[in-house]
Amino acid sequence: MTIRFDGKVAIVTGAGNGLGRSHALAFAARGAKVIVNDLGGARDGTGSSSEAAQAVVAEITKSGGEAIANGANVADFEQVQAMVQQAMDAWGRVDILVNNAGILRDKSFSKMTMEDFKLVVDVHLMGAAYCSKAVWEIMKEQAYGRIVMTASSSGLYGNFGQSNYSAAKLAVVGLMNTLAQEGEKYNVRVNSLAPAALTRMTEDIIPDPRAAAVLQPEPVSAGVLALCGEDAPNKFVLCAGAGGYASFHTYETKGIHLSPGQQTPEDVVENWTDLDDVNGEERLNSALDQTAKFIKAALADIDKNA
């Protein structure tokens, strides 16, 4: 099976450099028409320039593909809506959205300003929400859509000095979890990527000089394209880097049930080992699954003591 995107239109945000550039080139190489979005700012989000996006468009068109540069700030919903309209005016549809744009303002939480915290969340989380909202009804009406959120191991596991980035990156997984459910019956599939690549965003936190040889963007882009094909999964977190690919899942332990007379903080602490026992842990599909689990245990306790 060969994955192709002929006749499909893809929007890749933050596509002027690094991973986004690699994604855009990979989609174009397999037949997609691409909106190459990039504000063209510095790594911390300051400034703007169209040069990077234009250079990627030039690479695509030189190879016989179709692409349009766009300089929208993903943290501005009006600019995002105009970007999506640009795609509709040019090609009449939007099939794929890769929410890749991001910035870094790393500091320990003690030294971080709330302005820097909010700005990073606005770009990563609200930017993903704005772009997804702008294409959502289009994808539903055409009964086809593939959306990729860019998460991070920093969000999944934490990373010192990145409280703002980590919060935003785990938040987009939460956004994916619900959009995947809401879009499923319309063939709109929403997944997340947790990439590892040596780019200007990560050059300071991956100091090993040997990393440059293996942490290239292209292996990560292969994962992105896999998340956007006809047979793409839904509600999946793909971890990718240096030719390695893995899945991330949230599990919940079977837990315990305490009868009404035992529902005290002391009893919770006393039973901590049992509630944390991984035997019988499971993946839950929705928030209601957890509620149903707790209700079932509570009703069984009532019946037992009736």
Determine whether 63 is exposed, middle or buried from the number of CB atoms within 10 Å of its CB (0-12, 13-18, 19+).
exposed
Residue among 130, 157, 165, 251 flagged as catalytic: 165
Q: Which DSSP symbol is given to 17?
A: S
CB atoms within 10 A of CB 24: 33
Three-class secondary structure of residue 9 per DSSP: strand
Supply the Cα-derived Rg of the chain in whole angstroms: 22
242, 183 in Cβ contact below 8 A? no
Q: Which DSSP symbol is given to 124?
A: I
Determine whether 36 is exposed, middle or buried from the number of CB atoms within 10 Å of its CB (0-12, 13-18, 19+).
buried
**CA triplet 210, 216, 222: central angle to 5 degrees?**
145
* 165 catalytic residue (yes or no): yes
Q: Which DSSP symbol is given to 264?
A: S
177 vs 251: CA distance, rounded Å? 14
Which residues are identified as catalytic? Answer: 165
